[in-house]
Chain A
Amino acid sequence: MSEVIVITSGKGGVGKTTTTANLGVGLAKRGYKVVLIDTDTGLRNLDLLLGLENRIMYDLVDVATGKVPYRKALVRHKKHDNLFLLPTSQIRDKSAVDGDQLVDICNQMRSEFDYILIDCPAGIEQGFKTAVAAADYAIVVTMPEISAVRDADKIIGELNRADKTHIKLVVNRIRSHMVEAGDMLDMSDIDDILAIECIGQVPDDEMVVTSTNRGEPVISNKKSLAGQAYSNIVGRICGEQIPFLDLKKKNLFDKLKQMLHV
């Protein structure tokens, strides 16, 4: 059993790379052999989040062009020795690798890995098309605000058009007190608009940022609510039934307050 999952979003900066890194570590902790493929050439790349920047020798383009076999380009994680990274090219050209090449690389890797996670660039251009080409299913990451949800909606339309109909949703950076303020959407509206199964609700959590700086994804931090939310997503990917964390304790109070003001 081997599964290729693309993590995508449409809008930039919503947490694709953060999600990929955390799910990778979480799945590896459960004993699965995992490889993360970075297809983006942004600023905060996977190698940084995993603290592996200094170990990169070859990259995705080297593998795609046949310069080296994929095993030679993989970087093993320091702590989790069944977690690997296939780093992105330092050449800033997203069209350097095409969909067929990525499909080919994934097919070679399938026999060795349980999970292949692909971190997708933002947007719906060539980089997106390349990243989704190989995927068995897609995880769409969004945030509870209208522009992010609209982009997620567009991406779902695009995925359907590429015959990818197996799509799950992760809502990241939930700040419960802002939902009530009016410019954040609540979960029921997001569910209603996007109409795909939600497998994760991750709170906005400073520890995500501090752990990024240390190169150790937040899922390893037992005290972090976001870390716990990511662990739950990992469980759901493995087929477990896990209830969502209660991120809205304050809501009833906020609502009352709001009503008194009117």
Chain B
Amino acid sequence: MNEVVFKGSRSGLKMILTNTIDFATNENLIRQKLDASFKFFEKGTVIHLDADWLSELQKEKLEKLFDEYGLILQNAENDDSAENHATADNANSDSADNGMKMPLKTTVINQTIRNGQEVISDGSVVINGNVNPGATVIAAGNIDIHGACRGIVHAGAFGNIKATVSASYLIPMQIRIADMVARAPDKCMSKEDAPYPEKAYVSDGQIILEQLTGRR
């Protein structure tokens, strides 16, 4: 199920398709994915389409599909270069940027995010429930999980390197903050591996974990 991938990038939220499967299959997979997750999408969220190989007609079809879910699909501009520049060094200018555009809103979700479901937000996200293995949370701002985080979490997904991920039990498959990645050890982790609530943030060019007091 990794043929259709949603990914945060400096220029916004992207949907990446592989050209190894035909359009009808891609369309189907997208629909499945939106069906599984759409209620977690903020209405009016803009998603950039990264699939040059599609015809105009096919792109139009996809735009209509997204429109059914209240989402806006746009053609991705050539932003690869911008993406590659993202390093810890220009973090400051970047977050200042973000701050100027608009204050980030916070979405609160009161349920467990299950395998195959994705939460995508152009603000911050608070989840009162677990994020299970195979679930993904992507947010432009912070991610705060009041429960166990076992899935993939991407905070500051549009380039904000000041973003944080916190959880009562932080045992994720992968943590991403802006373009930094940290992954879990190759064994399956249990709650015992997270004796206290933790917060992940970027410091000195790497993702570090810090104990959170007064939580859980």
- Give the chain B neighbours of A195 by CB distance below 8 A: 112, 129-130
The answer to whether the Cβ of B134 comes within 8 Å of any Cβ in the partner chain is: yes
Docked-complex contact A157 and B188, CB < 8 angstroms: no
Q: Give 1 or 0 for each of B68-83: 1 = CB within 8 Å of chain A CB.
A: 0000000000000000
Docked-complex contact A146 and B115, CB < 8 angstroms: no
The answer to whether the Cβ of B191 comes within 8 Å of any Cβ in the partner chain is: yes
Of A33-41, A47-55, A181-189, A229-237, the one contacting chain B is: A181-189
- Give the chain A neighbours of B130 by CB distance below 8 A: 192-193, 195
Query: A146 CA to B150 CA in the complex, in Å?
Result: 12
Docked-complex contact A156 and B191, CB < 8 angstroms: no
Number of A-B contacts (CB under 8 A): 46
The answer to whether the Cβ of B90 comes within 8 Å of any Cβ in the partner chain is: no
Measured between C-beta atoms, what is the minimum distance from A241 to chain B in Å?
26
Query: A182 CA to B192 CA in the complex, in Å?
Result: 12
Q: Give 1 or 0 for each of A154-168: 1 = CB within 8 Å of chain B CB.
A: 101100010000000
Docked-complex contact A154 and B188, CB < 8 angstroms: no
Q: Give 1 or 0 for each of B182-204: 1 = CB within 8 Å of chain A CB.
A: 00000110110000000000000
10 contacts between A and B (CB under 8 A): A146-B133, A150-B115, A154-B116, A183-B188, A185-B188, A189-B190, A189-B191, A193-B148, A195-B112, A195-B129
| A-B contact sample (15 more), CB < 8 A, given A153-B132, A154-B114, A183-B188 | A146-B188, A149-B133, A150-B134, A153-B134, A154-B115, A156-B114, A157-B114, A157-B116, A183-B187, A185-B190, A189-B190, A192-B191, A193-B148, A193-B150, A195-B112
Partner of A157, one of B117, B150, B190: B117
The answer to whether the Cβ of A205 comes within 8 Å of any Cβ in the partner chain is: no
Query: A161 CA to B32 CA in the complex, in Å?
Result: 12
The answer to whether the Cβ of A3 comes within 8 Å of any Cβ in the partner chain is: no
Tell me the A residues contacting B by CB distance below 8 Å.
Answer: 146, 149-151, 153-154, 156-157, 161, 182-183, 185-186, 188-189, 192-193, 195
Measured between C-beta atoms, what is the minimum distance from B114 to chain A in Å?
4
The answer to whether the Cβ of B35 comes within 8 Å of any Cβ in the partner chain is: yes
Nearest to A152 among chain B residues (CB) is B115
Measured between C-beta atoms, what is the minimum distance from B88 to chain A in Å?
33
Nearest to B112 among chain A residues (CB) is A195
Query: A195 CA to B110 CA in the complex, in Å?
Result: 14
Docked-complex contact A150 and B190, CB < 8 angstroms: no
Scan residues 73-132 of chain B and give those whose CB is less than 8 A from a CB of chain A: 112, 114-117, 129-130, 132
Nearest to A160 among chain B residues (CB) is B114
Nearest to A157 among chain B residues (CB) is B114
